[in-house]
A and B are shown apart, each in its own frame.
Chain A
Amino acid sequence: MAHKFPSAEWVAAFKDAVNGNPAYKASGREWTHGVITLVVSANPGLGLAEDTCMWLDLHQGVCREAKIVGRTEADKGSAFIIVGDYARWKQVIRKELEPIKGLMQGKLKLAKGQLPVIVRFVQAARDLVESATMVPTTFLGD
């Protein structure tokens, strides 16, 4: 069954996909740097009245928890926050845009966190994207 992006169901399926991806288990093995939150910017035209914050508690190659949280909780509890508009995240999930390349092009923004740490885990970022592509997804507006 396809899950609407973004939604609690999609995030739960993403967690399963991450934990079922042996490549991420290897590339993220040394990740001990805390929660990463991916923020889809508000887009009233698509029915997203507020920012949607997808909280990913990643630790040593495992996604321990994944959930939708409010912006305040995300700002307070995340070590890293990456922000992009809906179209950009859609490109990421479709493997049309690599996250690090998106940061270079200014299509995604690192709103919180140490960039050198993110760059060091570039392969883990790619494997997270690979996991996202395994989630059957329906996009708003399609």
Chain B
Amino acid sequence: MADEGPVRITPGAEESGLANMVADLVRQNLEAHPERSSALAGLDLWLGIDATDVELGLTLVFEGGRLTVVDGILPRAEVVVTATSDAILDMSLVRIGRSGLPVLWDTAGRRLAGRFLRGELRMSGVGAAGRLMRVMRLLSVAE
């Protein structure tokens, strides 16, 4: 496994475009916004992402101040987000407010909320909501 600072991709995931996208998003976000590294520090979560329309799955393992991207959804994943690739992209377009919570009253936020309500974006393990907010902060590309 290549050591690329706080974000790594396991050998099995290196060929996955989605895995590379997620790893690049987090890596480049941390470079552009070093203050977001606080969201990574101490975050302990195994998060599965199931992109239904492109039939790709991966697990984001947040442990020890690092993210490891693994191909496929591992049984240990505490939370699994099931959505179309468009809905997954919409998650990264949501702005994160000063409180650390997603801003749901602007265009991007309303679109994401609409996807939740229509069942286009489903989530298991909602008990991890607080930690998910930190993941969204790491993934958000909104300025």
Contact = CB atoms under 8 A, between A and B. Distances in A.
Interface stretch (A14-22, A115-123, A134-142): A115-123
B85 A122 contact: no
A114 B21 contact: no
B29 A104 contact: no
B56 interface: yes
**Majority secondary structure of chain A interface residues (helix, strand, loop or mixed):** helix
**Majority secondary structure of chain B interface residues (helix, strand, loop or mixed):** helix
A92 interface: no
Interface residues of B, number: 23
Given A104-B56, A105-B56, A106-B16, A122 B93 contact: yes
Interface in A51-73: none
A104 B92 contact: no
Interface of A: 100-110, 114-117, 119-120, 122
Interface of B: 15-18, 20-21, 24-25, 28-29, 32, 51, 53-54, 56, 85-86, 89, 92-93, 141-143
